[in-house]
Structure 1
Amino acid sequence: MSPSILPYHLRVLLAALILPLAAHAYFQVSSPAKGAQWANGQTYPVTWEKGLLDGVDTFDLELSRMSTDGLIFIAKDVPSTIKTVNVAFQSLPAADDYFLLFLNSTHGVVYGNSQQFSILQSIPSNATAPQPDANQPTVTVSGGPNPTAAFVTTFPPSANGAAGWEAVSGWGPHALALAGVVTAALSGGAWAVL
């Protein structure tokens, strides 16, 4: 075994501080898939998977195009407990450079984005009809980007946005990290006094 440059308590502290950052990296959008062709007049399920302990309780869903400026605000404060939102497209400009953004629009933090997909004027005759999830909410989006428009829908807050310690699943790692920081601060103070 080779000796470590950092003492054990500092390695534990660094691991406790870095571990929560790694959880934010997991937000995968499964639908729309790359190259998907969606059409006006149809409703499609937007699906995703996200990390369990990433600290993301809600997020906003926006539609964007690569070749033009502007966003279409779809849904605000989508609860992370659901995994699908049905989106109905009505009279959006046809193009092949759309993508969905999953983000916190207040702070500008992007959690994930979909692959590039197309929106057609109408569904091709040889295409199969989309299968929206009847048990999930549906949001209808129409028109092009409008910087003065609000989100099409805003989900209600769950538990007023606050949760007690007993309601927070997995709070143990956070308590351990806090205890590590306090221990390191006390150790540093004691070391400075000596």
Structure 2
Amino acid sequence: MLVSRTIVFRPVASLCVVLACLVSQTLAYFLINEPASSTQWSNGAANLISWTKGLEDGIDAFDVELARLSDDGLIFVARDVPCAKGQTSALNIYLQDVPPADDYFLLFLNSTPGTMYATSNRFTILDSSSSASSGSQPSTNPSAATVTVSGSPNPTMPFATTFALSNGAPLMIQNMAPVAVGLGSALLSCLVGAAWTLW
């Protein structure tokens, strides 16, 4: 009888672990909507970046870098782009003298530890004298910030823009009562255990 319960319990436990992992993954996603693979950006114009992300992924800010497939080096676009709940999920990029090519892509990451969040589709940057084909350049977001990027990839250049943190005040922890009870009971248990040991 004990053997049959063990055999039934293992698949159920495995299923619970798999479902818990899947639920945590669905809450943590980061997708770059624009630029899409057919998008054409133009030098001398503002171009749209937009994204969609999970609400409970723990990411409040990220860095944006522009890279090419056929060329070494990065263009550091923006550091600490705010993406917390309630923030605009878009950024406008104004290009000046960025070399035209059809192999650019964006990286959304935390550049301090090198944690990658998302990579965009490959897109094209046109020369300022060329015009984008109709429908291939989405309109900019008027409520989003605009960052000006110029020149070719250069890893020694700083970020074109560094955004300020959303609030300079210390983070207030909401609903701290359960945390305080847990920490207080753990501290009390340690003190009682130490007193009991020394007595």
TM norm structure 2: 0.73
1:23–1:53 Cα contact (<8 Å) kept: no
Measure how far apart 1:93 and its partner are: 0.5
Partner of 1:76: 79
Partner of 2:139: 131
Show the 5 A alignment for 1:100-119: 100-119=106-125
Measure how far apart 1:16 and its partner are: 9.9
Distance 1:167 1:66, change over 3 A: farther
2:167 pairs, out of 159, 168, 177, with 159
TM norm structure 1: 0.74
Structure 1 unaligned segments of length 5 or more: list them. Answer: 183-194
- 3-state SS, counterpart of residue 5 of structure 1: helix
Count of aligned positions: 171
Distance 1:125 1:84, change over 3 A: closer
Structure 2 unaligned segments of length 5 or more: list them. Answer: 187-199
Distance 1:95 1:167 in 2: 51
Task: Tell me which moved more, 118-127 or 24-33.
Answer: 118-127
Distance 1:30 1:24 in 2: 18
Distance 1:35 1:5 in 2: 48
Distance 1:19 1:162 in 2: 33
Measure how far apart 1:113 and its partner are: 1.2
Distance 2:106 2:132 in 1: 25
1:26–1:51 Cα contact (<8 Å) kept: yes
Show the 5 A alignment for 1:35-114: 35-80=38-83, 81-114=87-120
Do residues 4 (structure 1) and 12 (structure 2) align?
A: no
- 3-state SS, counterpart of residue 55 of structure 2: coil
Percent identity over paired residues? 41
Q: What is the root-mean-square deviation of aligned Cα atoms in Å? A: 3.5
Measure how far apart 1:166 and its partner are: 1.0
Larger radius of gyration: 2
